[in-house]
Amino acid sequence: MRARRTAACLLAVAALGIGAAGCGGDDDETAAPATEAPATTAAPTTTAAPAPSGGDATAGKEVFTANCSGCHTLSDAGASGAAGPNLDDLKPDEATVSAQVTNGGGAMPAFKDTLSEQQIADVAAYVSSVAGS
């Protein structure tokens, strides 16, 4: 059960990161307006993700190892999960990780009922500080 949650968490972070990567500052007039984005890529509107709080990255590494490493690749954690996106490639920022872990998305479940707000802030601080290192 925990492995499923971990996998789902990692997939959600990856899905959010992939969606965020597609949102560049390109002024191409042929791009669809943000309001036409598929509903499946948006985070639920009923629960706001906590604002990044400058969590403890050291504590976040423990949270990541226990909950996310089974699905995601993150070299700093020695994780090579393949079910979710490679976080070293995505290099998500703290707010992106926080929102994805909190609300889930894609195949990743929401962890707002599994992890405390502090644990979410910690893992967001950790992943955003080491991804791509």
Has residue 19 got a pLDDT over 80? no
Burial of 133 by CB count in 10 Å (0-12 exposed, 13-18 middle, 19+ buried)? Answer: exposed
Q: In degrees to the nearest 10, what's the CA dihedral of 76, 77, 78, 81?
A: -120
The first and second tokens of residue 109, run together, are 């479940």
| pLDDT band per the 50, 70, 90 thresholds, residue 33 | very low
Read off the pLDDT of residues 37-75 as tens digits, 9 standing for 90 and up. 344 444 444 344 445 567 999 999 999 999 999 999 999
The first and second tokens of residue 101, run together, are 């872990």
pLDDT at residue 53 in the model: 61
pLDDT at residue 46 in the model: 39
Fold of 2-21+47-130: Cytochrome Bc1 Complex; Chain D, domain 2 (1.10.760)
Largest CA distance in the chain: 46
Read off the pLDDT of residues 68-108 as tens digits, 9 standing for 90 and up. 999 999 999 999 999 999 999 999 999 999 999 999 988 88
Sorted by where each begins, the domain ranges of the chain are: 2-21+47-130
Q: What is the pTM of this model?
A: 0.62
CB-based contact 72:85 (threshold 8 Å)? yes
Mean pLDDT, range 3-27, rounded to an integer: 43
pLDDT at residue 27 in the model: 42
Instruction: Read off the DSSP letter of residue 110.
Output: P
The mean pLDDT of the chain is 75
Spatial distance between the Cα atoms of 50 and 6, rounded to a whole number of angstroms: 20
Burial of 21 by CB count in 10 Å (0-12 exposed, 13-18 middle, 19+ buried)? Answer: middle
